[in-house]
Each structure stands twice: as structure tokens, then as C-alpha cells.
Structure 1
């Protein structure tokens, strides 16, 4: 496991180094691409500025020729316009516009035959200073724009230019995207021709007195451009190796954890087996101590009575004492026999007993101790003639234990009381024993039937678990609740007619 962990750490360190180197290579290539973009943008801006300057020179030359005579339609203007249109195809129209009031007459010179058109002078831009120019994009046709130059009052010179021709001669690299703007109007938009991982965009204002344009240029970066194969392939191999080692390491860790869990489970099973043996021994000792206390005390009392009968020569009292001793000895033998059967896992010795009789006999055993402690007992038995099928000795053992716990909880309590209620509910008898003591804490309540759990300083935590198991062997159940004091509820099946 240590060797695998060391190998994983070494490989991860190598992978981190490879990733760092790849990032450096990608950053260098990206920076190089940005430099190329800036160089291309600067060269394109310079070339575009030269073309815009040509437009200004053409306008100046045409304006000079137009001002030479009173009539615009001269052979000189026509010849110069035809020459310009022939050498510069992007200039698609050259015309003069003569304004007379609300109307204007436009004469085109870019074709062999002049063409005269009339238009509304309100559609012309307002220019007041001779020599001034204005650029206006054509409505509905953003690929073209128009330059108006005021030659003289009421006389305009018009040049219409195809904006696409400004970049038609390789001004921008073929794999770049670009946009050309005239103020807020987009004249050209050519997006990148291929999908890329990253895109960088730069813009440049082209300086021109008559044509204030902005050129934006975009360049894409493909994955193979940022991370060449000689970088990607080793990185992929390292990633694959790292993934393989991580999977193997995780499997090894899981196997080790599984072994640890199995070892812990085996240890827990051993502890549980030991606890089971201790629990059985404790239950046996507790049951014997509980049940034999009454017969032994009765034997001692009757033996003392027999001795007094001998002294006073009362044969009748002596016979009664000896008969009682015989009964209690048999009772002690029955208790030991039933405990032996319980430890050996034998079946309970069930018998049919009326509900009232079962409780009455049980109370005869417990009343002397309760009276000695000054505890008042209120017993109510309903449907006392209904028959229980119980192990009488075990039944008495359970209730003797419950009553003793209640008596101990009432120690030092003002006006200690125990209430016993027995009633039939369907095919079950429900017996409740309630005391007016402090009750069971909320933290302890869910655990009181667990072996070895106790709230008493001197307790072993075996009494109530033993009682619960004895009741279960009679097909019954036990539960505990708080009702101010503690209440134990025992449910046992009733014999059906």
C-alpha cells in the first residue's frame, strides 16, 4: 500500500509539472498569436488609411476640375471620373449635384454616357463651408457609403464607394474575422471562418479627415495551436497513467478498508458472544436471586415458628410450619428447574390461569415488602375471569421485579403510591404498573430494556431485559413510558373461548 501511495504521489507530481509546462506553452503561443494580430491590424490600418487618402485626393482633383468652368458636364470632368472608376473599381459612382431651391440636379460621370437625375435637395447633407466633406452610409445597403464634398455654394461633388472593396486585396489574413465601422454604422462584418477554442479581438481607429473609420480584427486560437501535439500527447499519457494508478490505489484502499471492517466485525462478534454469555449468566443469577428470596425467607420464618412450637409443645403449629416448609422448598425447586430450562433454551411451562388469580398470587409475594416501605398500592382488575396462558413462576418473577424497581424509585418520595391496572383489550390482557416517582429520563427511556444498561449506582442492567425476554417467551410484550412517574405496560395473550 505504501509503495502504491508513493507511486501515485510521484505520478501526480509529474502530472502537475506537465500541466504547468502545458500552461506555459499555451500562454506563450497565445501571446505570440496576439502579437501577430496586432501586427496584422497595424498593417491593415496603414493600408486602409492609404486607400482613404486616395479617396480624398480624388475628391480634391475632381473638385479642382469642376471649378474650372461654369458647366460641370465637361470632357475634363468626364475623363477624370472615368479614369478613377477604371483604376479603382471600389469607387462605383462619381457625380456632381447642382442645387436650385428645393430641387437638385445630379449628373453622373463614372460611365461613358452622362446621366442626369433630379432629386429633392432636402435629401442632401447640410454643408456650408466649401471644401468640407461628410460620409453617409446608404440606407438599406451598409456595404456602400457616400462622400459629399461642397465645391461651391449650391454645388456638391459625390463619390460612392463599395466598402467591401476596401479590404478585397488581402488587407486582412483569410483566417481572421473583421468589422468595419463608420461611427455607429457597421459597414462590413466578416466572422471567423472556423470554430476556435479562444478568440481575441483588437480595434484601431483609422485616421482620415473625411472618412473616420474604426477597424476591428479578430483572431481565433485552435486547441492544436495553443497546445501542439508534442505537448498534448505526453500530457494525455500522464493523465491515463494517473487515472490507472488512482483507480488501482482506490481499489487497494477499499480492499484494506474491507479487511479492517471484517476484522472489526469479527472482534465485535466476539465481544457480542462474550456479552451474550455474561448476559445469560447475569440473567440466571438475577432470576435465581429474585425468585429464591421469597421461598428462602418463608422457610426461615416457618422454621423459626416450628422451633417455638416445640418449646410450647404445639403440635398443630409445628405441622403447619413443616407443611409450609415443604411447599416453599418445592417452590424453590420449581424456580431452579425453570431457570435451568430457560438457560438451556427450553420451552416455557405454560398453564391457563385466570387473570385475577395470577395478579392476586403475585401481590401476596410483593405486599409485605411494599408495606414495609410504606407504599400504598391501588389495584384494579377488570375482566378478572378471563384466562391467561402464562408461565406462572416467570409471570411472578417479572411483576416482582417491576414492583421492586418502582419501590426503589419511590424511596424518599412523599406519599409514595403504586397503581396497578389490569383489563382485557380484545384478545390481549393489558397490565400497567404506574408509580408517582420521578419517572425515567428521556435519554434513558429508549435503552432501559438493553442488557447492561442501568440508571442505578449499584445496578447491573439485567433485571428489565430479563423480564422482557420472559414476557416474550409467553408471546407478550413490554414497554415503558413516562406519565409524570414511570409506567410499565405488559401485554399478554388471552385464551379465546
Structure 2
């Protein structure tokens, strides 16, 4: 949101600048139009006066009363009789104070003409002049170098060939500051509204994406839990199937003496399934785990009994070494049995196809923890497996679903332990599990 406001502020500044430029240009154009209209209005006024001078004054004898004449032609301020003058000579002679003499050689009369009044009524220009053959007849203001606007118009009258000139500069202080400020406020309100709407849409989109993500995560978690249940329950079901087949063979051989042991083993596995389902339910509901002292020597023996058929068929030699003080850990018995069952089963399966195999389970005391190492003589972990073994659904076996190791890590972490994977220098895989030592 902060980045959006910065971008919005930049856009607002740009719009304010463009608005100020546009309104300034518009005002300057309006001012120029006003000056232009004023100049050409003055030109028409002067042209009318000059036309009067050339049309009516030649008809006067010069004996008329000046007062009566000024009533009709206020620009005439004096009348004088003159001597003989060339008929083709100049009819204009500049005088002082913005006046000039207009000659009528036929009547031997001259009229003093004053054009200051129309020029005095024109204020916008800082320079205004009426010239005759480059000679200034009337001037208002001073000529400036580099004037912004300039006008020059020839007054086409044969007897009075004057040129009207004017200069002006824009009145920058007259630019419309208040409208500019109002437009800046309008732009700010508009941009703020757009940013708020965009932020609202973004928040809604993010909320929808989060809802979709959470829904997807819940579905993934449900699938992962279901797959984990299938993975873990499959082990006791397989054991039950093996015990039932053994019982069938005993019945076929009429060797009923061993049937109770087989049935007891089946009952044990069904109870294990029930315990697994209860543990899954507790895991999902995140109930606090109840840790207790677990003897890993007895637990390893029990797991070896469950995997007896796989170990025998794979020709695997199971070795154990539990140093003094490392036989008991603080853990959940069922969870730790699941972990041992999974790790030893993986080690057995990793050596399929080898003439002989070996699985070693060893433990040693390390301060307040017990370090348990499960190793095998198989090919070891690949670099990819070392990096991704604990990722859900990662597996190197075609029949695997990739949930055994992630579930193992989860259970160990909930029991305040750690797990690490490595390869032995001489070959083979090594899984190191560290759990708190059980208090006496």
C-alpha cells in the first residue's frame, strides 16, 4: 500500500504540473487575445479619425470657428493660415506633445491634430507609439528589449501614412492560482479514491487467494493424513495376513498346538491398529503427547519379531548394541515402535537383491540424550534423498507413497527429539535418532 501511495503522489504532482501548465497557457492565450483585440480596436479608431481628417478637413476654408469645429472634430486643436506651399509636398509635420500639423495647400490652411486621447485610453501595453517615416509622433511608455508580444500595423492613408506599434508582456501575477489550487484538490481526491478502490480490490483478491490456499492446504493435509494412516496400518495388516497364513498351514498339518500363538499375534496386531488410529486422532487434534520411559532393547526385539518374515526372506543379519545407560529413553512407546518399524523396514528393503544383508541398531548415552544409530549395508542415500527424504510424498520405491519418513520426523520432533540422515564411509545408510534420556 505504501508503494501505491508513493506512485499516487507522483501521479498527483504530475497532474498538478500539467494542469498548471495548461491553465497558464490558456490564461496567456486569453491575455494575448485581449491585447490583440485592444490593439486592432485602437487601429480602427485611429483609422476613422484619419479618414475624417482626409475627408472633411480639406473642405474647410480655415475661417470657421475653432469651437464650432472642435464640436464636430475634437481632434482638431488649432487652425492657422499659411503661405504658399507645394501642392505635392508632405501634408504632415510633427509637432510637440504628441500632435502634428495637417496641411491643406489648396486652402493655405493647416490644422493641429491631437491623437493623444485615444492613445491615453489604451492601458495594457507597456509601449505604444504612432510613427511617421520612422519619426515618433505620439509615444506612451518605453520600448523594451525582448518583449513577449509585439504588434506593428501600417495605417494606409495617403495623406497620413502613420504606423501603429505596440509591445506587451504577460501579467504573470494574474495567472489563476485559485483554480489551480482547486484542480489540485480535485486531482488529489480523485487519485485517493482510485487508490482506496484499488487497495480494496487487492485486499479482496488476497483474501480470496488466502481462503483458496487454506482450503487447498486443508485438502492436502487431509490427503496426507489419510495416506499416512494407510501407510502405517498397512504394516500390521501385512503381519496379520502372515499370521493367518501360518495358522492355515498349521491347521492343514493338524498342528493345533501352535495355533494359540498365531491367534495371539493376530490379536496383538489388531490392537496395534486400534492404537494407531487413536494416535492419529490425537495427532490431528494436536493433543499433548504423554511421554514415558521406553526400553529400546525390548522395543527393538518386538519390532524384529514383527519383521521376522521380511528379515528371514531377505537374509538379513540383525545386530544390536546398547551401551550401558542408553537403554531407556523418554518417548511415546507406540510412536517409537512405529519409528523403529519404519526405519528397520526401510533398511531391509534397501538391501533386496543382495546375497546377504545387515541391519545394525546401536545406542549410546550422550549427556542428557540417547543417540540411536540404525545402519545398513545397502547402497546408502543419494544426494537427492538426503535433501528431500523428509518431504511428503518423496519416495525412491515404486510401491512407496513417500509418507513414512515425514511421519517419522513429525513424531520424533513431537517427542523433543532429532533425526538426521547420512552415509557410512564404507558404504550403507545411517539414520541417527536423538531422544531425551529417561529419568530414573
Question: d(CA) in 2 for partners of 1:414 and 1:234?
Answer: 95
When residues 21 and 429 of structure 1 are mapped into structure 2, their CA distance, relative to the original with a 3 A threshold, is same
When residues 343 and 428 of structure 1 are mapped into structure 2, their CA distance, relative to the original with a 3 A threshold, is same
Question: d(CA) in 1 for partners of 2:204 and 2:421?
Answer: 40
> What is the DSSP-based 3-state SS (H/G/I as helix, E as strand, rest coil) of the residue aligned with 1:459?
coil
Which string of whole-angstrom CA distances, capped at 9 and with x for unpartnered residues, describes residues 1-56 of structure 1? Answer: xxxxxxx9x9999657536547979999xxxxxxxxxxxxxxxxxxxxxxxxxxxx
Aligned residue number for residue 246 of structure 1: 191
| Correspondence 1:380 to 2:321 | yes
Query: C-alpha displacement at 1:401, in angstroms?
Result: 1.4
Which string of whole-angstrom CA distances, capped at 9 and with x for unpartnered residues, describes residues 279-322 of structure 1? Answer: 222222211101232233133224312421x2xxxxxx522x12
> What is the DSSP-based 3-state SS (H/G/I as helix, E as strand, rest coil) of the residue aligned with 2:370?
strand
Which string of whole-angstrom CA distances, capped at 9 and with x for unpartnered residues, describes residues 192-212 of structure 1? Answer: xxxxxxxxxxxxxxxxxxxxx
Question: d(CA) in 2 for partners of 1:400 and 1:254?
Answer: 54
> What is the DSSP-based 3-state SS (H/G/I as helix, E as strand, rest coil) of the residue aligned with 1:344?
helix
Question: d(CA) in 2 for partners of 1:26 and 1:460?
Answer: 78
Aligned pair partner of 1:322 in 259, 262, 268: 259
Indicate if the aligned counterparts of 1:25 and 1:227 stay in contact, CA closer than 8 A.
no
> What is the DSSP-based 3-state SS (H/G/I as helix, E as strand, rest coil) of the residue aligned with 1:487?
strand
| Correspondence 1:272 to 2:273 | no
| Correspondence 1:294 to 2:239 | yes
Query: C-alpha displacement at 1:335, in angstroms?
Result: 0.9
Aligned pair partner of 1:433 in 374, 379, 403: 374
Query: C-alpha displacement at 1:440, in angstroms?
Result: 4.3
- The unaligned stretches of length 5 or more in structure 1 are 1-7, 29-172, 174-224, 311-316
Aligned residue number for residue 360 of structure 1: 301
How many residue pairs were aligned? 286
Indicate if the aligned counterparts of 2:24 and 2:175 stay in contact, CA closer than 8 A.
no
- The unaligned stretches of length 5 or more in structure 2 are 1-8, 30-143, 145-169
When residues 240 and 348 of structure 1 are mapped into structure 2, their CA distance, relative to the original with a 3 A threshold, is closer
Q: TM-score, normalised by structure 2?
A: 0.53
Query: C-alpha displacement at 1:338, in angstroms?
Result: 0.2
Indicate if the aligned counterparts of 2:326 and 2:364 stay in contact, CA closer than 8 A.
no
Which string of whole-angstrom CA distances, capped at 9 and with x for unpartnered residues, describes residues 212-266 of structure 1? Answer: xxxxxxxxxxxxx996551655544444433333233222222211111111111
> What is the DSSP-based 3-state SS (H/G/I as helix, E as strand, rest coil) of the residue aligned with 2:371?
strand
Aligned pair partner of 1:339 in 276, 283, 287: 276
Question: d(CA) in 2 for partners of 1:336 and 1:258?
Answer: 47
Alignment RMSD, CA only?
4.0
Q: TM-score, normalised by structure 1?
A: 0.48
Indicate if the aligned counterparts of 1:354 and 1:385 stay in contact, CA closer than 8 A.
no
Matches within 5 A, 1:92-111: none
Indicate if the aligned counterparts of 1:22 and 1:227 stay in contact, CA closer than 8 A.
no
Which string of whole-angstrom CA distances, capped at 9 and with x for unpartnered residues, describes residues 167-203 of structure 1? Answer: xxxxxx9xxxxxxxxxxxxxxxxxxxxxxxxxxxxxx
When residues 14 and 276 of structure 1 are mapped into structure 2, their CA distance, relative to the original with a 3 A threshold, is closer
Question: d(CA) in 1 for partners of 2:20 and 2:354?
Answer: 77
When residues 400 and 270 of structure 1 are mapped into structure 2, their CA distance, relative to the original with a 3 A threshold, is same
Matches within 5 A, 1:59-458: 228=173, 230=175, 234-308=179-253, 310=254, 317-319=255-257, 321-345=258-282, 352-383=293-324, 386-411=327-352, 417-435=358-376, 437=378, 439-440=380-381, 442=383, 445=386, 447-458=388-399
Indicate if the aligned counterparts of 1:302 and 1:324 stay in contact, CA closer than 8 A.
no
